[in-house]
């Protein structure tokens, strides 16, 4: 790996880590009572919710 390639990888890793930590800080500051995600959502509990629509909206 060249010096320039190493620096590019290092910069990308740093940017990804900062974005991850920023997201974690914002979630913590929001004070949500518990952690939830769409991956853990039970679509079978409410058949009126269209899973395909929710996943399309989640992917922007």
The ranges assigned to domains in the chain are 3-58
Distances from the Cα of 2 to the Cα of 6, 7, 10, 15, 24, angstroms: 6, 9, 12, 20, 33
Query: Could you tell me the CA-to-CA distances from 21 to 8, 16, 36, 57 in Å, in that order?
Result: 20, 9, 18, 24
Q: Provide the whole-model pTM.
A: 0.59
pLDDT, position 4: 96
User: Tens of pLDDT along 7-48?
Assistant: 999 999 999 999 999 999 999 999 999 888 888 889 999 989
CA-based R_g, the chain, Å: 18
pLDDT at res. 52: 92
């Amino acid at each position: 790996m060249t010096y320039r390639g190493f620096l590019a990888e290092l910069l990308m890793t740093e940017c990804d880590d900062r974005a991850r930590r920023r997201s974690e800080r914002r979630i913590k500051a929001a004070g949500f009572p518990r952690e939830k995600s769409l991956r853990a959502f039970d679509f079978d509990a409410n058949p009126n919710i269209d899973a395909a629509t929710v996943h399309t909206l989640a992917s922007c």
